[in-house]
Amino acid sequence: MRKHAILALEDGSYFIGYSFGASGETQGELIFNTSMTGYQEILTDPSYKGQIVVMTYTQIGNYGITEEDIESKGIQVNGFVVKEAFFKYSNWRAKKSLDEYLKEYGVVGIYGIDTRALVKKIREKGTMKGVISTIEEDPAKLVEKAKRIPDISHQNLVDKVSTREVYHWDEGDYDLIKGFLKRNNDKPVIAVIDFGVKFNILRRLVSEGARVVVIPPKDAERILEDINPDAIFLSNGPGDPQRVIEGIRLVRKYKEKKPIMGICLGCQIIGLALGGKTYKLKFGHHGANHPVKDLRTGKIEITAQNHNFAIDPESLPQDVEITHVNLLDNTVEGIRHKELPIFALQYHPENSPGPHDSYYLFKEFVKLAKGGK
């Protein structure tokens, strides 16, 4: 027998559906993702910490869960909302169902609601806070709980997802027969500051020939002095970039000493460190189908995105140029310092399962780390 669940929003509205995954109650900021595939990568992306993800594509879970298609050590989202949840799956690599996976990590999900109406509400009103519950039957009480949820800008989410220890990463591309290919790269050494890094970022750097060392942001300056890397990479991560003071300070210290690249949160941190400002988007960019224009070449790339904040283009100083823009809303998607070897992308060029239009950017960065221009 199916168990009911309720999703209540801070605006007073609520949806009644069915429970899947863990029983209980969860809360967070509601955002929607427009990807048709990649739900496992979405669930395990640390940038979603603090958020409940709504999938716009209707059928979720039909290819199950595999051991290879993860982006961190476990599920990171606070909750999961879908139209139609599949409890049976068809995939020769799959080891378990989506329902089993959510239960394993204690993540509450709801299905069988009108996700089109929910997404339309978020698009019109902007990101909202919400509660999913399988234990509280009074929607009004859940609405009141949703109203009391702290804003995501007031939470230290990076600290919840970043590594506590330094570690080396030697895993590169995936082979269907051999699995992930190990590479014993020597040079260049790239220090990845982990604000919530996705595994595929590390794999792309290794595949391009880099020796990757992942370090925690809390003690990054001391560790960088010890290992003296050839370049510094700032990862993606959750929350408001203005709260990541250690990252902003680090870029300002090393901007004239080392090549630096950033993705997503790392891009925003670089923008702030170089003198720009950031702001929160109405409902964020979350999906695998955003067209981005490279202003240097005129080339259009289809990109994957997952961010709630963006760089204010009017705030950037004259020595920083905008290299990429989003063709859906003209927001900043890439910046580069005109004199220093520093560049950053707001979107995710490493995205798995795709698209892969922007893989070349990792090659560019590894070349910079080797001393190229």
Q: How far is CA 362 from the centre of its chain?
A: 17
Give catalytic status of residue 225 as yes or no.
Answer: no
> What SS3 state is found at 62?
coil
Q: Residue 92: CB partners within 8 Å, gap ≥ 6?
A: none
Instruction: Report helix, strand or coil for 243.
Output: helix
Q: What is the DSSP letter of 315?
A: G
Q: What is the DSSP letter of 65?
A: B
Handedness of CA 352, 357, 361, 367 (dihedral sign): positive
Contacts of 104 (CB under 8 A, 6+ apart): 96
Longest dimension (CA), the chain: 64
Under a CB-based contact definition with an 8 Å cutoff, are residues 269 and 251 in contact?
yes
State the catalytic residue, choosing from 10, 264, 286, 307.
264
Catalytic residue, from 286, 290, 337, 348: name it.
Answer: 348
78 backbone dihedrals φ, ψ, rounded to 5°: -80, -25
Q: Is the dihedral of CA 27, 218, 190, 74 positive or negative?
A: negative
Active site residue 137: no
Mark whether 348 is an active-site residue. yes
The first and second tokens of residue 156, run together, are 């230290």
How far is C-alpha 210 from the geometric centre of its chain's CA atoms? 22
232 DSSP β-pair partners? 191, 260
Q: Which residues are catalytic?
A: 264, 348, 350
